[in-house]
Structure 1
Amino acid sequence: VVSRLTYVSRARACVGARTARFLTMPPTPPISTGAHDAKYEPVDVKTLGQGNFGTAKLMRHRASGQLFAIKYIERGDKIDENVKRELVNHRLLDHPNIIRFVEVLLTPTHLAIVMEYAAGGELFDRICGKGRFHEDEARFFFQQLISGLEYCHGHGVAHRDLKLENTLLDGGEVPRLKICDFGYSKHSLIDSEPKSTVGTPAYIAPEVLSRKAYDGKAADVWSCGVTLYVMVVGAYPFEDPADARNFRKTIMRIRGVNYAFPAHIALSEECKDLIKRIFVLDPVHRLNIAGIKQHPWFQRNLPAELQNAVVNDGPDPNQMQNLDELMSIVDEAKHRLGDGAHGAQGGMMGGSADYYPDEDMDDDMGAGLSGDYGAYD
């Protein structure tokens, strides 16, 4: 089990090679920072992450010295409705367990999204280092995940791509979990009803595969169940242990809610019960956030700060970037500058791809290896 998740960690660097038949991979264009150099400076030219939509770099605010993560998305075709939704929805959220959105800037070559920097890295990597968590440690992080997700849902935002790679840690001695990457998010009042198949295969809820309208919040709960299972077991619940990299088989097992708890791993009955109540085919009968918070396993050792939901109206309007300004920057970023700009078609190494479950796909695609899949709404 440990080696499987370690393999996932090692393999992330070569995901692009595995998905070459689905993605066109142009050379990654150099980032021309231009005027925003007056505000932010790079720190050791450190790349925090790379995906289909861009590259994240560690930057320092010149005036305050504070560190930020800046995601650079190439100007042009990649600046689409998903990017706009990510910015509009993320901008509304202000919670200790959610990465803070700061502002969006424009450079000659890229749209730059400035966000809070989480020095502890991904929760995924922490699990890879340990193989799996003891229940107490898993519960500590799961409680924070549910707290952040409850806030998102309370503000009308369904994340739709919750996974270990989209949960960061702040680097403190007692690490605080922070949800990130709202690229596939939808707002119940602003956006259309979710109906497309987006997310990461190992975490996708059965109803998301139906190509029919579904409740994005219930799908998020399913993804939380997958996250909890991986934390306590050290493997993805719907992978076939004998054929873990078979993508199509994973999808079939999700549709049939076909999973098991390994006999060699001692889990409490309360933990198993919570997971069973989340992995319910019909989202109407699936445990919701309120039900999870009332469950005995969740309630055990619940920190005082998480006992009550965070209630606020979002960030202080006086400290938020003006929405009209943000939209103007995004609209301008849809146009490239200069004749030498690289094309924006296709993806970047290790990133997302459109996922159409009924079309010809390579069976030999690990459900946890292949990044995000999205057939855009």
Structure 2
Amino acid sequence: MGTPTPPPSAAKIRRTSSSGGSGSIILEKYQLGRLLGRGSFAKVYLARLLDNPSAPEVAIKVIDKAATVDAAMEPRIVREVSAMRRLHHHSNILTLHEVMATKTKIYLVMELAPGGELFAKLARSRRFSESTARRYFHQLISALRFCHQNGVFHRDIKPQNLLLDQNGLLKITDFGLSALSEQKIDGLVRTACGTPAYTAPEVISRKGYDAEKADAWSCGVLLYVFLVGSLPFDDGNLSNMYRAMHRRAFEFPDFVSKSAKIVIYRLLDPNPNTRLSLDELIKLSWFKKSFSQENLRSQGSDENPTGSEFLDSKQFKFMPRVNAFDLISMSSGLDLSGLFEEETTSSKEIRFTSKMEVAEIEEKVSKAGLEFQYRVERRKGGAMRLVKGRAVVVVEIWGVAPELWLVELRLVDGAAELGESQWGELRLGIGAIMAQ
């Protein structure tokens, strides 16, 4: 789907007293259409831009702020926005275009996926052929590896959270239960969440776990569901179900190929230390069979290749002109403005704004990196990274207003190797060079 026109400045937007239902005008910018779905604290509507009726329609999630307070949903919404902000422009991840708010409502403006849930298609088919399952699985793994490379761990992968666009391309959605890399303690995530039948057994323990390996387990469950049409572990008694997971007590029908069984069996390893990782998965013959760049490429755009993620586990995307979120101050409750503060909320992130040209910003960041013995790398698509030993710092530049850029440097690997003193030196060095 295309991207709506850039939002007007917050100063030009007047708040609306609309109830937020079908037919409502949202902040003089969008008109809501028919209801697409509803949850306990939100409704999703079809919507169109008022000043550009020919622009692609979008989906707007309307969240009742009072309900989020009652349901303690504020952290989930912040996580969802923060995660999706990092994941722009991968063709298998649903795009969040912007965030708006009134005194009583929050509006998440998202890409429309008119194909609906993959779950519905699976229910109609009962199960997928191996070639169809592999095609969707390719797209899922491409998107998840991109998430992991950008410090986002989904933790709730299931058919209901996979949508289809108008061309049948898979889109991951619902990052409300995701974890971010800065939430790790000693490299591990410690919060339990997810849908039990799809959740790795170590997640429910009170110990830390590897979130990448937890997502890999969910992929194994999903591939089984794709091919068999039922869950490998399904018991109303959760204790019994998790005992079955630890024993790998599931069976394969005869029609599942031997190579597919091996993939699933290795993904559903109850020991996360020996479980197949996604980087290992893409090297297996079953996964690579019938693989082509063409069937994974974003349809209608040459700027969004998705197949190359399988070839390079260190690839990061870089899109210099993207729709920034229109973050509006809220009168009470949820406040998303901190997502774009100049002072970073994480000790392993550096954020600042600049009115320089993108090329000049890149040149100055490169100069600072070289001064502190980082290797400057340019990746396919224009991605920029600073590398020192195992430490990898991703550089992203976002357009947040005309002639204003948000620059973010994020440590995504090698935190143990890069101490606080070296990180502080890099921060100060960049500040000094940018001021020149």
Residue 145 of structure 2: which of 147, 150, 158 is its match?
150
Match of 1:88 in 2: 82
Residue 194 of structure 1: which of 181, 189, 195 is its match?
189
1:285 aligns with 2:274: yes
Is 2:184–2:190's contact at 8 Å kept on the other side of the alignment? no
TM-score using structure 1 length? 0.72
Distance change in 2, residues 1:109/1:314 (3 Å): farther
Q: Shift of residue 147 of structure 1?
A: 0.4
Secondary structure at 1:168 match in 2: strand
Secondary structure at 1:198 match in 2: coil
Residue 229 of structure 2: which of 234, 241, 255 is its match?
234
Match of 2:308 in 1: 308
Match of 1:49 in 2: 37
Q: Shift of residue 110 of structure 1?
A: 1.7
Which whole-Å deviations, capped at 9, do the CAs of 1:217-271 have from their partners, x for residues lacking one?
11001101111000000000012xxxx54444323322433211134xx111110
Q: Distance in 2 between matches of 1:226 and 1:110?
A: 36
Is 1:110–1:333's contact at 8 Å kept on the other side of the alignment? no
Distance change in 2, residues 1:159/1:235 (3 Å): same
Q: Distance in 2 between matches of 1:79 and 1:234?
A: 32
Q: Distance in 2 between matches of 1:189 and 1:129?
A: 40
Which residues of structure 1 form unaligned runs of 5+? 1-29, 336-377
Is 1:202–1:238's contact at 8 Å kept on the other side of the alignment? yes
Q: Which moved more, 1:136-145 or 1:70-79?
A: 70-79
Q: Which amino acid aligns with 2:121?
A: R
Which whole-Å deviations, capped at 9, do the CAs of 1:24-53 have from their partners, x for residues lacking one?
xxxxxx64697625211122x22x222344
Q: Which amino acid aligns with 1:178?
A: K
Residue 268 of structure 1: which of 257, 269, 273 is its match?
257
Q: Distance in 2 between matches of 1:53 and 1:252?
A: 34
Secondary structure at 2:282 match in 1: helix
Q: Distance in 2 between matches of 1:52 and 1:316?
A: 37
Residue 171 of structure 1: which of 162, 166, 184 is its match?
166
Q: Shift of residue 209 of structure 1?
A: 1.4
Q: Distance in 2 between matches of 1:149 and 1:231?
A: 17
Q: Distance in 2 between matches of 1:98 and 1:283?
A: 26
Secondary structure at 1:272 match in 2: helix
Aligned-pair identity in percent equals 36
Say what the alpha-carbon RMSD is for the aligned residues: 2.3
Distance change in 2, residues 1:281/1:318 (3 Å): closer
Q: Shift of residue 196 of structure 1?
A: 2.0
Residue 67 of structure 1: which of 39, 57, 66 is its match?
57
Q: Distance in 2 between matches of 1:334 and 1:269?
A: 50
Secondary structure at 2:91 match in 1: coil
Q: Distance in 2 between matches of 1:68 and 1:191?
A: 34
Distance change in 2, residues 1:38/1:92 (3 Å): same
Distance change in 2, residues 1:102/1:184 (3 Å): same
Q: Which amino acid aligns with 2:59?
A: A
Q: Which amino acid aligns with 1:40?
A: Y
Is 1:132–1:230's contact at 8 Å kept on the other side of the alignment? yes
1:135 aligns with 2:130: yes
Which residues of structure 2 form unaligned runs of 5+? 1-18, 298-305, 336-436
Q: Which moved more, 1:254-263 or 1:117-126?
A: 254-263
Equivalenced residues, count: 292
| Greater relative CO (CA pairs within 8 A, separation 6+) | 1
Secondary structure at 2:43 match in 1: strand
Secondary structure at 2:26 match in 1: helix
Residue 319 of structure 1: which of 310, 315, 323 is its match?
323
Q: Distance in 2 between matches of 1:83 and 1:317?
A: 25
Mapping of residues 252-263 of structure 1, within 5 Å:
252-263=243-254
Mapping of residues 86-125 of structure 1, within 5 Å:
86-94=80-88, 95-125=90-120
Is 2:97–2:323's contact at 8 Å kept on the other side of the alignment? no
Is 2:158–2:222's contact at 8 Å kept on the other side of the alignment? yes
Is 1:195–1:211's contact at 8 Å kept on the other side of the alignment? yes
Secondary structure at 1:189 match in 2: helix
Residue 220 of structure 1: which of 205, 215, 218 is its match?
215
Q: Which moved more, 1:188-197 or 1:111-120?
A: 188-197
Q: Shift of residue 64 of structure 1?
A: 2.8
Q: Distance in 1 between matches of 2:92 and 2:271?
A: 28
Is 2:149–2:316's contact at 8 Å kept on the other side of the alignment? no
Secondary structure at 1:38 match in 2: coil
Is 1:79–1:334's contact at 8 Å kept on the other side of the alignment? no
Q: Distance in 2 between matches of 1:208 and 1:49?
A: 29
Which whole-Å deviations, capped at 9, do the CAs of 1:130-151 have from their partners, x for residues lacking one?
1001101000000000000010
Match of 1:185 in 2: 178
